[in-house]
Each structure stands twice: as C-alpha cells, then as structure tokens.
Chain A
Amino acid sequence: EAQVTQNPRYLITVTGKKLTVTCSQNMNHEYMSWYRQDPGLGLRQIYYSMNVEVTDKGDVPEGYKVSRKEKRNFPLILESPSPNQTSLYFCASRTGVGGKQYFGPGTRLTVT
C-alpha cells in the first residue's frame, strides 16, 4: 500500500530535550516536505527536499533541522524544542512539482 508514515504519532516532551520525528514514504517520490498546522494559521511549510541531499527552507524553518540521506526518509529534528513548537506536524511526499502530494497521518507534539 502506498503510504507516508510518521513516528511518533503523539509526543509530550520538555523544553530543550532534543527529539526526532521520523518520516518514510514507499512511493519513490523525489519531493518530501514537513508542515506544521496551527489554529488560524493553516498549513505552513517548515522544510522541503527535492531529492537526496537537497533540502531547502520553507516559511518557518527556525528551530528545526532536516536531512535527506535516503530517498525514502526525511526526519525532522528539533535540537532544543520550545513551547512555541507545540503543534501538529505533517510529513508529505510527491513525485514532482506537478504531482499529487500524499500526507502522513500527523504527529501531535506538545512541548512543556
């Protein structure tokens, strides 16, 4: 089954404790992205990747890191999480600029 998976689905952590949210897709897509969704602000892009070892900042990259060492994986790293990073995070992938984008199930992160 074609899918995008994210782990964990739910995470409660404390300020400053490094964490990684994993994202994996099995569709051989070139493009992968991370978004955060906050009430009233819609979906905002954090980082995106056009292929292995190619990443670029989205609208709200501060406080986040990503890597794309393999085509299928695109982890999101929060080196020192802060409460303003409490949000719902989505990973997504697509074949190219004009391809349909497939979203993962979401990760709800709470930073206290």
Chain B
Amino acid sequence: ILNVEQSPQSLHVQEGDSTNFTCSFPSSNFYALHWYRWETAKSPEALFVMTLNGDEKKKGRISATLNTKEGYSYLYIKGSQPEDSATYLCAFSQAGTALIFGKGTTLSVSS
C-alpha cells in the first residue's frame, strides 16, 4: 500500500516567521507530486505540481522543492502571515494511477 507522510502534523508560528513542512512518498515509479492549500470551510486549492527531480516552484512567499530519488518534498513559507493559516496537503502519484494524499500539516499563524 502506497503511503504519503507529512510532518509535522501541526504547527503554530508567529507572524513574520518562516517555516517549512515535509512530505515523504515512495521513490519508486514516481510521476508527480502535488501541494494543496486547504482553508477551513473551503475546498483544497492547488499550489504546485512537480514532476522532475530537483524541481523548484514558487508562488509569492510560498515555494516548494522536490527530491524524487529520496522521496521527499519541502514546502517553505517565508514571512508567515495570518492569512497563511490553513492545512497544507501533499499528494503523490505514480504513472497512470490515482493521487494519494497525505493527512496534511495544519499551520496556524498568530499576529
């Protein structure tokens, strides 16, 4: 059974802090790694899709890196703001198969 692990499960930071989360996935037959942001009472929203080892993606203060050989991805948030409070999900797929989601990292940013 394929498994995607995210750590930490939750964290609380102060406004202005930078933070990062980890997503671990099986390194064999890798095809794509997705990151989503999920705010309370809303639907998950796609942040990044990465397919190549060494990929780096950036959107504003949020960036992500990918290491397919060792099976991990990092999501970084620079200068956290209260509006960054959400659950961040990663999802992994092998070629031609379904997306498998981790349980997420819940970030809370205090002002």
Q: Is the CB of A98 within 8 A of B32?
A: yes
A100 and B49 contact, Cβ closer than 8 Å, known pairs A33-B98, A33-B99, A43-B89:
yes
Cα of A90 to Cα of B42 in the assembled complex, Å = 11
- Complex contacts, B96 vs chain A, CB 8 Å: 50, 97
Interface 9-mer from A13-21, A68-76, A103-111: A103-111
Q: Is the CB of A43 within 8 A of B95?
A: no
Q: Is the CB of B101 within 8 A of A42?
A: yes
Question: What is the size, in residues, of chain B's interface with A at 8 Å between Cβ atoms?
Answer: 23
Cα of A98 to Cα of B55 in the assembled complex, Å = 13
Is B53's CB within 8 Å of the partner chain A? no
Is B43's CB within 8 Å of the partner chain A? yes
Contact of A58 (CB < 8 Å), options: B31, B46, B98? B98
Q: Is the CB of A101 within 8 A of B99?
A: yes
Contact of B44 (CB < 8 Å), options: A59, A90, A97? A90
Looking at the assembled complex, report how far the CB atom of B55 sits from the nearest CB atom of chain A, in whole angstroms: 11
A102 and B98 contact, Cβ closer than 8 Å, known pairs A43-B89, A97-B31:
no
- Complex contacts, B93 vs chain A, CB 8 Å: 97
Cα of A58 to Cα of B2 in the assembled complex, Å = 12
- Complex contacts, A12 vs chain B, CB 8 Å: none
Q: Is the CB of A102 within 8 A of B46?
A: yes
A41 and B99 contact, Cβ closer than 8 Å, known pairs A100-B49, A101-B46, A102-B46:
no
A45 and B98 contact, Cβ closer than 8 Å, known pairs A97-B93, A98-B49, A100-B34:
yes
Is A56's CB within 8 Å of the partner chain B? yes
B contacts, CB < 8 Å to A: 31-32, 34, 36, 43-46, 49, 51, 89, 91, 93, 95-104
A contacts, CB < 8 Å to B: 33, 35, 40-45, 48, 50, 56, 58-59, 90, 97-106
